[in-house]
């Protein structure tokens, strides 16, 4: 039944992408407004007619994720709750369809590691390490897309965390056969109509692909899809295929809202970090991140 429920939810994604007013309404409700947002401007395009996933020339803005979870916990164990009164399984109206944690086809060791991570929160991102997959596009302070046609590359840049970027090669090249595993892996992309499709392999096992710590191995292969149904909405879907950690392929995603006028700023993480609470835990925060090895 859960599988049927999730399949139906994925079908609903298409309907939501064709009805951006539903998503805009949910954004307004999250801010306390009780009426739908004003109609958004049309999807921006380049002079060649291609969708522009970033800022039009002369304008500024960044993408901020709405509900950056990639799976919905339904038990305190799955969420790692220290607050017994916190809500579980709550999805805001109009949110991107997501699987329940209980529907994810974990291998036993991967489920056990995920549960451990939800409690201990040794997230590499909080210790200035890059994070690939969904975590890379759901980062603190905003994400941007920079299309460089003369290089035949699109760069995804992040403001928070390690303040780094991921190149997507758009020149039709294949993945190398002798990849050294890395945090972001090797990404090649192409357009399917107005959707950017990004194929990535070559991940290492040291980064997390989401905030809560879904385990992955060097066998991880992701397919990401980005589309912009109007000026203010970016839809993101990721297919996760990792036979080292899961018994089957699964999908999830999220919406992003456009923060008009925002700019990326210098975020010093690696050197002289001044965030001890995030780095090692402090005061009344019941998290110890002082381990020298990030699991």
Confidence band for 4, pLDDT divided at 50, 70 and 90 = very low
Residue 108 clears pLDDT 90, i.e. is over it: yes
Residue 214 clears pLDDT 60, i.e. is over it: yes
Residue listed under structure tokens 């009426």: 35
Give the number of C-alpha atoms closer than 13 A to the C-alpha of residue 193, restricted to the C-beta side: 6
Separation between Cα atoms, residue 290 and residue 36, nearest integer Å: 45
Task: Say whether 189 sits in a helix, a strand or coil.
Answer: strand
Is the pTM here over 0.95, yes or no?
A: no
Confidence band for 39, pLDDT divided at 50, 70 and 90 = confident
Least confident window among 20-24, 53-57, 158-162, 241-245: 20-24
pLDDT at 28: 33
Which tens digit of pLDDT belongs to each residue from 97-107?
999 999 999 99
User: Which range has highest mean pLDDT (45-59, 111-125, 228-242)?
Assistant: 228-242
Average pLDDT over residues 74-97: 78
pLDDT at 251: 97
Residue 288 clears pLDDT 70, i.e. is over it: no
Confidence band for 123, pLDDT divided at 50, 70 and 90 = confident
Contact call for residues 180 and 201 (beta carbons, < 8 A): no
pLDDT at 6: 43
Confidence band for 277, pLDDT divided at 50, 70 and 90 = low
Which tens digit of pLDDT belongs to each residue from 131-147?
899 998 988 888 999 99
Separation between Cα atoms, residue 108 and residue 105, nearest integer Å: 9
pLDDT at 37: 53
Helices (H), the chain: 2-18, 20-30, 76-79, 108-120, 133-136, 276-280
pLDDT at 253: 96
Separation between Cα atoms, residue 295 and residue 291, nearest integer Å: 9
Average pLDDT over residues 197-221: 95
**According to the 3-state scheme, what is the secondary structure of 97-151?**
CCCEHHHCCECHHHHHHHHHHHHHCCCHHHHCCCCCHHHHCCCCCCEEEEEEHHH
Instruction: Report domain extents, the chain.
Output: 2-280
């Amino acid at each position: 039944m859960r599988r049927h429920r999730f399949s139906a939810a994925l079908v609903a994604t298409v309907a939501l992408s064709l009805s951006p007013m539903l998503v805009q309404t949910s954004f307004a409700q999250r801010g306390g407004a009780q009426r739908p947002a004003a109609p958004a401007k049309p999807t921006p395009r380049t002079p060649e007619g291609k969708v522009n996933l970033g800022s039009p020339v002369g304008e500024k803005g960044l993408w901020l994720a709405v509900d950056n979870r990639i799976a919905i916990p339904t038990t305190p164990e799955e969420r790692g709750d220290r607050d017994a009164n916190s809500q579980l399984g709550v999805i805001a109206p109009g949110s991107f369809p997501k699987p329940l944690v209980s529907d994810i086809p974990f291998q036993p060791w991967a489920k056990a590691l995920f549960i451990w991570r939800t409690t201990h929160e040794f997230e590499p991102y909080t210790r200035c390490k890059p994070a690939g997959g969904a975590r890379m596009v759901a980062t603190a302070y905003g994400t941007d897309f920079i299309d460089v046609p003369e290089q035949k590359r699109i760069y995804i840049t992040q403001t928070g965390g390690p303040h780094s970027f991921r190149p997507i090669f758009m020149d039709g090249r294949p993945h190398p056969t002798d990849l050294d595993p890395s945090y972001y892996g090797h990404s090649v992309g192409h357009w399917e109509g107005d959707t950017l499709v990004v194929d990535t392999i070559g991940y290492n096992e040291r980064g997390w692909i989401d905030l809560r710590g879904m385990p992955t191995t060097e066998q991880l292969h992701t397919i990401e899809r980005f589309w912009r149904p109007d000026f203010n909405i970016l839809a993101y879907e990721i297919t996760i295929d990792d036979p080292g950690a899961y018994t089957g392929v699964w999908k999830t995603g999220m919406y992003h809202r456009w923060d008009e006028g925002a700019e990326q700023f210098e975020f010093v993480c690696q050197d002289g970090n001044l965030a001890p609470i995030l780095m090692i835990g402090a005061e009344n925060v019941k998290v110890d991140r002082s381990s020298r090895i990030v699991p």
